[in-house]
Amino acid sequence: MSVGIEQLAVYVPPYVLSLDALAAARGVPAEKFREGLGVREMAIAPPCEDVVTLAASAGARALRASRIDPGDIGMLLVATETGVDHAKPVSIFVHELLGIGRQCRVYELKHACYAGTAALMSAADWVRAGGTRPRRALVIAADIARYAIGSPGEPTQGAGAVAMVVGREPGSLVLGEESGTYAGNVYDFWRPLGRREAMVDGKYSVECYLEALAGAFTAYRALERPALGADEPLSARLARFLYHTPFPKMAVKAHRRLLELDWRATAARAAGETDRLEEAMVASHRDAVAPGLEAVARVGNTYTASLYLCLAALLEREGSRLAGQRLGLFSYGSGCCAEFFTGLVPTGVAVQAGVAELLRERTAIDIEAYERLVREGDAGGEPPPGFTGEFVFQGVRDERREYARFAPALAA
């Protein structure tokens, strides 16, 4: 039975800050961000948006694109590390805003950036467990990456959400049934209770990411079917590679490590072709990785949504050319847990996730406006002119968060 992603939809906030402007304000060369990190812009949320509104806006887009009744959703999962309450999940707010029916399993998942994959795999297993009964799940990965003004992590901020309808008619990606996993308790990135901004040990986090990649990818190679020949690299079977991407240069490091592992596992390449690895890495990154990084370079870090933003943008641009081919996907969450899995792009794929349109419609802001928005946080209030979201966070009253649908077209 085929199970996978039937539809993808993306939402990003309406404001965008140029990383060249940020570099100038911080007194560093623009190349440090453009070349060193691979980022050009980052999405900034206004005070009327929080992780709930991001998730709900993406979810509404996915439901419309799927042309399914919200009442047909039997499971709603929201993956985030930007929770709004220690007990009440983001997903139950989204459940109400989207008008999903009462007969629905609803919960929130947290494991840093890995949670989006945890939600997708949980939903896929639930659909498979239904047998011949029709089941559909709505999985949403949504986050706002925040770091203190002037901190080393500041240029790796971002915000956005990706919604995925998961079911037995996967028109976007058929999920493979095997995956390689890896877990270990590390303190590479964390956010203690009471802190708005995360804490991160940047260099150590990169090391943890690459170690987890090695563990998950090696585990997956052993599960690949049909089994790999002694001289056959797994990378030869996969048309594209997508990685959790806190910044695009992380995907460069990740792909180099993956190819090293893949080549070393093949007898002939390990014996006589290692001198060609760097040449192969450059070509492979250009052809198999770079096509999926354009959106991340313009949105920034979206934590749980990062991998799936890459997927949505890739399928929107190249879906028809990739039909019938397999993709390799790697998910990493600090703390840490990782998973490598594959997916088949089905024949007839037609993904319109809204990525290009959303990026085109954003409003550029300057450093002064950016710093003001950071200080205001997600305080709630009226949406700004040109707001493209579908829901707004109105604020907190009597310790309760209040949300509403925003429909300017209807109001006019």
Name the residues annotated as catalytic. Answer: 81, 113, 244
Residues 6+ apart with CB under 8 A from 335: 111, 112, 185, 186, 187, 188, 189, 190
Instruction: Find out whether the peptide bond into 336 is cis, omega within 30 degrees of 0.
Output: yes
Among all chains, which residue has been given the structure tokens 């995907």? 251
Residues 6+ apart with CB under 8 A from 368: none
Instruction: Please tell me the distance from the alpha carbon of residue 322 to that of residue 325, in angstroms, as a whole number.
Output: 5
The DSSP line for 167-208 is ESS-SSEEEEEEEEEEE----SEE--TT-SS-EE-HHHHHHH
> Helix or strand or coil: residue 382?
coil
Instruction: Please tell me the distance from the alpha carbon of residue 257 to that of residue 338, in angstroms, as a whole number.
Output: 15
Residues 6+ apart with CB under 8 A from 52: 84, 90, 93, 94, 97, 391, 393, 401, 403
Count of Cβ atoms closer than 10 Å to residue 330 Cβ: 26
Instruction: Please tell me the distance from the alpha carbon of residue 215 to that of residue 405, in angstroms, as a whole number.
Output: 44
- Comparing CA positions, the residue from 103, 109, 65, 113 lying closest to residue 90 is 109
Instruction: Please tell me the distance from the alpha carbon of residue 284 to that of residue 195, in angstroms, as a whole number.
Output: 40
Residues 6+ apart with CB under 8 A from 366: 21
Instruction: Please tell me the distance from the alpha carbon of residue 389 to that of residue 391, in angstroms, as a whole number.
Output: 6
- Comparing CA positions, the residue from 49, 236, 39 lying closest to residue 153 is 39
122-128 contact pairs (CB < 8 A, 24+): 122/77, 123/75, 123/77, 123/166, 124/3, 124/4, 124/166, 124/175, 126/75, 127/3, 127/166, 127/167, 127/168, 128/1, 128/3
Contact in structure between 67 and 127 (CB atoms under 8 Å): no
Instruction: Please tell me the distance from the alpha carbon of residue 55 to that of residue 47, in angstroms, as a whole number.
Output: 15
Instruction: Please tell me the distance from the alpha carbon of residue 78 to that of residue 108, in angstroms, as a whole number.
Output: 5
Contact in structure between 9 and 162 (CB atoms under 8 Å): yes
